């Protein structure tokens, strides 16, 4: 899969370069992205599934890897699941509306619009949290969820301890 990953990167890079070219001429007019806050308690240092810094840089890698693992091998861990990202990060605004992908208020679009990197995830995937999908936690023993959650999380110990009983 490394080829497609590289191609994907190249595509993104090229698309980014091409599309941002006209933007850069008037860069002063563009506001920095206003990224909506996530529902769960992600903090600046431990982030959500990994550190914020890591996610900003590598989220596409994780998603790409997860995508192949899930559809081809039936691996259904939640840590890097796109549905989980949407579930937690795509939030209602003050008037109770959930933004569509493409609008600046949508979590993914907020940055992707800013850097003008187009993604086609949401041509097939739902861009809004459903809450009732089979991915929701009621179908999942808490242990798996949190083990995955804590694998890369530095402050995970407490969570792990809390749930270690319910798992087995």
Is there binding between residue 73 and other proteins (CB under 8 A)?
yes
The DSSP bridge partners found for residue 14 are none
Q: Is 117 in the site for other proteins (CB under 8 A)?
A: no
Tokens of residue 167, six digits? 């798992």
Question: Does residue number 168 form part of the binding site for other proteins (CB under 8 A)?
Answer: no
Please, is 161 exposed, middle or buried when counting C-beta atoms within 10 Å of its C-beta (0-12, 13-18, 19+)? exposed
| Strand, coil or helix: 75 | coil
First vs last C-alpha separation in the chain: 35
Question: Interface with other proteins includes 60 (CB under 8 A)?
Answer: no
Nearer to other proteins, 27 or 71 (CB): 71
Which listed range, 37-45, 108-116, 135-143, 152-160, lies at the site for other proteins (CB under 8 A)? 135-143
Nearer to other proteins, 52 or 140 (CB): 140
Q: Which of 78, 106, 112, 152 binds other proteins (CB under 8 A)?
A: 78
Question: Count of CB atoms within 10 A of residue 125's CB?
Answer: 13
Task: Determine if 72 is a binding residue for other proteins (CB under 8 A).
Answer: yes
The residue count for binding other proteins (CB under 8 A) is 30
CB neighbour burial string for 93-114, b if at least 16 within 10 angstroms, e if fewer: eeeeeebebeeebbbbbbbbbb
By the criterion CB under 8 A, which residues form the site for other proteins?
3-4, 7, 11, 67-69, 71-78, 83, 120, 123-126, 130, 133-135, 139-141, 144, 148
């Amino acid at each position: 899969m490394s080829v497609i990953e590289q191609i994907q990167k190249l595509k993104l890079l090229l698309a980014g370069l091409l599309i941002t070219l006209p933007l850069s001429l008037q860069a002063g007019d563009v506001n920095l992205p206003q990224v909506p806050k996530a529902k769960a308690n992600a903090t600046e240092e431990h982030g959500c599934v990994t550190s914020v810094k890591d996610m900003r840089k590598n989220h596409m890698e994780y998603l790409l890897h997860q995508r192949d693992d899930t559809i081809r091998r039936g691996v259904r861990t939640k840590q890097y699941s796109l549905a989980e990202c949407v579930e937690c990060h795509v939030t209602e605004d003050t008037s109770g509306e959930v933004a569509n992908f493409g609008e600046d208020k949508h979590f993914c679009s907020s940055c992707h619009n800013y850097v003008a990197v187009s993604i086609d995830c949401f041509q097939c995937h739902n861009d809004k949290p459903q809450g009732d999908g089979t991915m929701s936690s009621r179908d999942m023993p808490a242990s798996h969820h949190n083990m995955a959650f804590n694998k890369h999380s530095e402050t995970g110990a407490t969570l792990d301890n809390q749930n270690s009983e319910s798992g087995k």
